[in-house]
A and B are shown apart, each in its own frame.
Chain A
Amino acid sequence: MTTTQEPPATDADVQEYSTHPGAFANRAFGGLSAGAASLILVTLAAVATFLLIEAWPAMTSSSADLSDQVHWLGTESGETLIATIGYLVYGTILISAIALLIATPLSFGIALFISHYAPRRLAQGLGYLIDLLAAIPSVVYGLWGALVVIPVLQPFYQFLSESLGWIPIFAAADDGTVSGTGRVAMSAGLVLAIMIIPIITAVTREVFLQTPVLHEEAALAMGATRWEMVRMAVIPFGKPGMIGATMLGLGRALGETMAVYMILSPGLSFSPHILQAAQHNTIASYIALQFPEANAAGVSALITMGLALFVITLLVNMLARWVVSRRSEFSGAN
């Protein structure tokens, strides 16, 4: 195209080219893509406005009023809206953290194997399989988790608490047993981890594949082993991408509803015990649970929780952006 070397077209430029045969298509396409881009802003603004407007009644009414109308917010048990959101934010972050702790090292390993270790044919097949994992609906993961995984894991949890029970997170209940069914935060975190592995793997794999070949060959030419080459060339180059991928995974884990809903015996507390039932719940799963029978005030309270989740995800994304932009200066990319 003739305009590629020039600064962005102004109205005057467009006038100048208006006799060009492709001028109309050019302008139309420009307008369409600008429209598509602004649609994202509009949608985001619309969601934010909706959340604010709908949550307003619950946020502004006194906790006593609210607990009169919403029976699952009882002031006598200390569960005001704020307290409930506090428990849920804690549960959401705890379960997402378990998922990330398990998923990130695994995903990076898989991605490195595919990009730098596996023979080409195997790498392709494996990459395809990982992408397939991402396509499984979360309700299927939830069913699988609830029906298949949990019963298998329960004896392991019992063993874990017997051998490592002195660490608070693995502690058993007072009677020395962990949840008899395995419907605990640990299980939810594990299944979430499996759900976010494909996302983190797919993104980091692409980043690792883009490592400049010159860097890799230079490292190898200096006598580096393959592991040293990965450590010195691939990982520094891919660091922003790895962080970005982790944050994408975290985003999915934070908002995941169905799997948690089906796997966890919910409860509200700040308990660290991830092997005991009825201790935690996540915001999304709590909303799904309470929404069907909620009245107007209840819906407003639930939307306030949705707003809290929205803010958390926004913060996570902004943090990720900030980290990536700070790191990119030092990465091998420049």
Chain B
Amino acid sequence: MKIATRAGAIASAAVLTFALAACSPSNEETDTTDSPAPSGSESEAPAELSGSLVGAGASSQESAMEAWRAGFQSSNPDVTVSYDPVGSGGGRTQFTEGATSFAGSDALMDAEEYAGAVEACDGDMGAIHLPLYISPIAVIFNLEGIDSLNMDADTIAGVFSGEITTWDDAAIADQNPEVELPSSTITIVHRADESGTTENFQDYLVKASSNWVADETSGDWQGATGESGPGTSAVVQIVQENAGTIGYVDASRAGELGTVALKVGEEYVPFSAEAAAAVVDASPLAEGANGENDLAYELDRTTTASGAYPLVLVSYTIVCQQYDDEAERALVTEFVKYVASAEGQEKAASAAGSSPISGDLSTRVTEILDGIAAG
């Protein structure tokens, strides 16, 4: 016991030493960025960045953000990026109160928040959304020997609203003629807490199906009462352990479970990174967006574009169009450029299972970021 404690103390002392060593240069060199650098020079020869960048918001981006943070900090050792996964609403609030430099959010800002962002940002151009985290949502189920089922939106809505109660119901069987379905009861599993996954799943059902129980989207569960658990892990665990269950989770967590291929147009599309990115490119911008740089999408859940998977969660990075401090501007734009880059998107894909954004979108985001000014 005593030895263990002592070893722990030595280890933590060592960590402290390293941490201090890592910190000290940044303290010395903070002055360099404070000296006014001519705007625009960064893009040609990136000056050495230093300082700390603070963001907060959606917990859906948390593991991707970890990867981006590590990747960005390894090429910019004097920068500290911190991201507090307080939730989308909390992240937008902190951003519009000026407490953070950027926010992560699964949902778009409402009119009030747009106005708040104008207050918080320099100048009067307010803030914009950049869709940098695209994550397909998988409908997962646990039936022995079945890896994939085909369903259209009406069938999924029927199952999750409690109208379809057995696995061999005609609605499911007709779309899966080659699969032998058991006659067991369907146990639906949903998130007990409010979540972006629930919100996007229900948004899909509201827009793509004709028989869903609610007319409006909500982050809280609106379907039939069933089993539920707090958080993604709980839902995955419940489905994994109980045969006959069906639920919905972030696709990266679907693992070995069976998944549902969605009917899009005339074909059935299983989730994949490309299919998820395709639906974003096929979607129009939302009404009320803040000018042409605001890439706030109105996701087209009813798309018939070939190979698109419309059940996706898009999480935005919200940034100002103008920052009052040059150092802050440089930090935000360089970091978000890294996030939007092919390298950053790859990192997120391997760390969080997200779908990399398309090359066109990446280029467009970089252009927008280059246009962000410091007042």
Contacts and interface: CB of A to CB of B under 8 A. Distances in A.
Q: Which of A147, A265, A289 has the most CB of B within 10 A?
A: A265
A151 B241 CA distance: 8
A262 B234 contact: yes
A289 B230 contact: yes
Interface residues of A, number: 25
Interface string B237-257: 110011011000000000000
A70 to B, nearest CB: 11
Q: Which of A71, A72, A183 has the most CB of B within 10 A?
A: A183
B228 interface: yes
A177 B244 CA distance: 13
Given A180-B227, A181-B241, A278-B227, A293 B185 contact: no
Given A71-B220, A267-B225, A278-B225, A180 B88 contact: no
Nearest to B219: A293
Interface in B185-231: 185, 187, 189, 192-195, 218-220, 225-230
Contact of A289 (B193, B227, B245): B193
Contact of A175 (B185, B220, B225): B185
B225 A293 contact: no
A61 interface: no
B30 interface: no
By secondary structure, the A interface counts as: loop
Q: How large is the interface on B (under 10, 10 to 19, 20 to 34, 35 or more residues)?
A: 20 to 34
Nearest to B59: A292
A176 to B, nearest CB: 10
Contacts, number: 75
A198 interface: no
Contact of A266 (B93, B219, B228): B228
Nearest to A151: B241
Nearest to A183: B227
A191 B2 CA distance: 34
B226 to A, nearest CB: 6
30 contacts: A71-B220, A72-B220, A147-B237, A147-B241, A175-B165, A175-B185, A180-B185, A180-B187, A180-B227, A180-B242, A181-B187, A181-B227, A181-B245, A183-B238, A261-B230, A265-B227, A265-B228, A265-B229, A266-B192, A277-B225, A277-B227, A278-B228, A288-B230, A289-B230, A290-B194, A292-B59, A292-B87, A292-B193, A293-B195, A293-B219
Interface of B: 59, 86-90, 93, 165, 185, 187, 189, 192-195, 218-220, 225-230, 234, 237-238, 241-242, 244-245
